[in-house]
Amino acid sequence: MPPAPRRVTQRDIARMAGVSQATVSLVLNNRADAEVRIAPETRDRVLRVIAETGYAADPVARRLASRFNRIIGVFTYEPAFPSGSRDFFHPFLLGIEEYAERVGCDLLLFTSAPVVDGRRRIFHRDNRLRLADGCILLGREIDAAELLRLNRDGYPYVAVGRRDDAGGPVPYVGTDYAAAVRQLVELALARGHRRLAYLGVDATAESSADRWRGFDAAAPDAEAARRLTHPTRDADAVLDDLVAGGSTVVFVEDFATAVALESAARRRGLRVPGDLSILTLGDPTVPVPTDTAFTGFHIPREEMGRQSVEVLTAVIDGSADGVQQRLLPCEFVEGDTLGAPDPAVDRR
């Protein structure tokens, strides 16, 4: 089937009419700011482009326009812009920006909170949450005490990623890691693997817990399944552990660790996937150069960003039917690092 045509946005209208997006918004809402006068010929030009393109304002935008500031806050628990984390936050922010534009909202990135030990806190002396109609929360781990306070204060928010109960249900848009990992384990079992290893990051985040839960649900069909952590050990030490345990396939939570492990195996003369299959449980969170196409799955980060704005606007305008909690499916990546175990190798 041909792809669906791209939706015309206010940005498109502004470009075609040769005006600012703010001018388009004022024309669409049939008003003018006290300090901004829209010339009749400008208004006519904008209306003509709207008619020619068949543009229709998003219904959510119309609901928000009458009662709210149409400002959506974005709060990141870790700094969003250092080079080491840009690959983690960037896809989320792309999706957030895209849907915010669609519904005619501006984004306000909260940056005044001090960074302590690499993390921010929402509630501090100068917090400005009330400048926005609601807020999207981004972070590898989100403070449960702050979620509890947000729930208690009745402030509209949506967490990106599944979050545990915080004195009440938490609205979120997350990823179904458990199902994605379970699919990979079942695939490895179907390829003949019976000695499995899971290499985690020793973290308390829900995303880590969900990955392990998916592995643990499918692993009982294996002859042996071990859980390892890799907080400080180098790749060679991990490889020694895998070889000593006779593992034929390892499921690696952190992408950079998988790259290091594959390089260590290659230096040692081991074949990947002939001697050891390596599966990755997500995308890189930091830039990691590699020519290897790893078998695993992609996380739908942009779509999570888009849907987080969709959920938040429903919370803000009161149209949400209960607390929204969405888990999106991951996209399987075939890759080149999963094969059948070599029957000639004695792994007892």
Q: Helices 21-28 and 40-53 sit at what angle, rounded to 10 degrees?
A: 80
Write the Ramachandran bin of 18: left for phi over 0, alpha for psi from -120 to 50, otherwise beta: left
CA distance 265 to 285: 22
pLDDT at res. 231: 57
Separation of alpha carbons 20 and 299, rounded Å: 35
Which pLDDT band, with edges at 50, 70 and 90, does 31 fall under?
A: low
Q: Give 40: exposed, middle or buried? Use CB within 10 Å, 0-12, 13-18, 19+.
A: exposed
Lookup: tokens for 225:
């399944």
What three-state secondary structure class fits 343? coil
pLDDT of residue 34: 41
Do residues 100 and 64 make contact, with C-beta atoms less than 8 angstroms apart? no
User: How confident is the model at residue 35, as a pLDDT?
Assistant: 47
Locate 299 and state its tokens. Answer: 């996380």
**Proportion of the chain in helix, strand, coil states, percent, rounded to 5:** 40, 15, 45
pLDDT of residue 252: 96
Predicted confidence at residue 297, as pLDDT, reads 97
SS3 of residue 107 by DSSP: strand
Tokens of 29: 């809402």
Q: Determine what percent of the chain is predicted with pLDDT higher than 90.
A: 47
Question: What Rg, from alpha-carbon coordinates, does the chain have?
Answer: 24
Contacts of 79 (CB under 8 A, 6+ apart): 85, 115, 118, 120
Structure tokens that stand for 76 in this block: 């990141």
Eight-state DSSP code of residue 119: B
Residues, the chain: 348
- Token pair 């519904």 is at which residue? 103
The amino acid occupying position 99 is Y
Angle at 185 between CA 179 and CA 187, to 5 degrees: 105
Render pLDDT for 235-250 as a digit per residue (tens, 0 to 9).
Answer: 999 999 999 999 999 9
pLDDT digits (tens, 9 = 90+) for 52-101: 887 766 555 555 555 567 889 999 887 766 545 456 788 999 999 999 98
Structure tokens, 197: 């290893």
Mean pLDDT value across residues 219-242: 82
At 306, is the pLDDT very low, low, confident or very high (cuts 50, 70, 90)? very high
Looking at per-residue pLDDT, the higher value among 67 and 254 belongs to 254
Give yes or no for a contact between 13 and 55, defined as CB atoms under 8 angstroms apart. Answer: yes
Band (159; pLDDT cuts 50, 70, 90): very high
* Tokens 């939706």, located at residue: 7
- Give me the mean pLDDT over the 251-272 stretch: 94
Task: List, in sequence order, every residue forming a beta bridge with 134; answer none if it has no partner.
Answer: 72
* pLDDT averaged over every residue in the chain: 84
- Which domains does the chain show, CATH number per domain? 10-57 (1.10.260.40), 71-175+301-329 (3.40.50.2300), 177-299 (3.40.50.2300)
pTM, 2 dp: 0.77
Calculate the alpha carbon distances from 264 to 45, 131, 188, 296 in Å.
63, 51, 22, 19
The residue that leads in pLDDT, 241 or 32, is 241
160-215 pLDDT, tens digit each: 999 987 778 999 999 999 999 999 999 999 999 999 999 998 667 899 999 999 99
Q: Which of 13, 23, 17, 15 is nearest to 54 (CA)?
A: 13
**In the numeric block, which tokens belong to residue 73?**
């806050």
Burial of 183 (0-12, 13-18, 19+ CB in 10 A): middle
Measure CA 160 to chain center.
7
Mean pLDDT of 132-154: 88
* CB-CB neighbours of 1 under 10 Å: 3
Preceding peptide of 5 cis, ω within 30°: no
pLDDT tier at 2 (50, 70, 90 boundaries)? Answer: very low
